[in-house]
Amino acid sequence: MKNPCRILVNSIPKSGTHLMLQLVEGIPKMKIAGSWIDPEEKLSLIKEGIFAPAHLPYSSSAEEYIRKNNIKMILITRDLRDNVISLVHFILRNQYNHPYNPYLGLGLHSYEDQIMTMIKGAKVEDPLYGGPLIIQNIRGYSIDIMKWLDYEHVCWVKFEDLAGDTETKHNTLQRITDHLWDGLHVFNLTKEEIVERMLRNVNPDKSATFRKGSIGDWRKDFTPEHKRVFKEVAGDLLIRLGYEKDYNW
């Protein structure tokens, strides 16, 4: 029996995409697409029984396609301050020849400066290749993807709820199962049994980009100046995502 679900695992970069992919792969009869959904025209790859990852910004055309083709989106976000820290380490590791690596790795020798650059962005000369390099700030990384939060058919998941205590993780996976249930009910399995299969499929060692999966690293790495600039650049987004109630942090 084929799984009728079509699933888009969408996320802000470095928010736990690969963890969610492993969880979804634990669902019976689900197979991953052969490509990330970039550009949005690749949404056509998501057939029955297929799931795919993306850092897909909101657009009316993508929303229409997802709605008409009954694609279920799981949207993953994270504390954007931790996104910054994770992005710095990901870029410096340069696993996929990241375009920002030459500047962060060669042009900046201070970890504090690397963090600040990922918070506020920059327009600089590339030290390796020459020519201008525009580094997107953390707001640019997140704002257009966050627009999916206004789309009522999205299942919004916070990374912290997947990496936190057992009860919270379990409740979050139950929400995901509820979101997908019109496709999953064809299997002779309870929701609890599907959740258990998802959990058994998680193996951080098999994630190509996993580093630590920590919560709250920003607290030890941010300086007071990092905090000040972050509030200016994206403080409102932290409030929108529910990580802060105001700017007094």
Report the percentage of the chain scoring pLDDT > 70: 96
Please tell me the predicted confidence (pLDDT) of residue 88: 95
pLDDT surpassing 50 at residue 229? yes
pLDDT surpassing 60 at residue 207? no
**Structural domains in the chain, sorted by start:** 6-78+142-206 (3.40.50.300), 80-138+212-241 (no CATH)
Please tell me the predicted confidence (pLDDT) of residue 214: 77
Mean pLDDT in residue range 36-54: 96
Please tell me the predicted confidence (pLDDT) of residue 127: 76
pLDDT surpassing 70 at residue 209? no
* Separation between Cα atoms, residue 97 and residue 94, nearest integer Å: 5
Confidence of residue 6 (pLDDT cuts 50, 70, 90): very high
Confidence of residue 17 (pLDDT cuts 50, 70, 90): very high
pLDDT surpassing 50 at residue 210? no
Return the exposure string of 177-214: e unless at least 16 CB atoms fall within 10 Å of the residue's CB, then b.
Answer: bebbeebbeeeebebeebbeebeebbeeeebeeeeeee
More confident call, 152 vs 59: 59
Please tell me the predicted confidence (pLDDT) of residue 125: 82
Please tell me the predicted confidence (pLDDT) of residue 62: 97
Please tell me the predicted confidence (pLDDT) of residue 206: 63
Q: Within 13 Å of residue 31, how many CA atoms lie on the same side as its CB? A: 9
Average pLDDT of the chain? 92
Mean pLDDT in residue range 79-91: 96
* Separation between Cα atoms, residue 5 and residue 8, nearest integer Å: 10
pLDDT surpassing 70 at residue 97? yes
- Mean pLDDT lowest for which of 60-69, 103-112, 205-214, 230-239? 205-214
Mean pLDDT in residue range 195-216: 74
Model confidence pLDDT, tens digit, residues 134-192:
999 999 999 999 999 999 889 999 999 998 889 999 999 999 999 999 878 778 889 99
pLDDT surpassing 90 at residue 39? yes
More confident call, 34 vs 212: 34
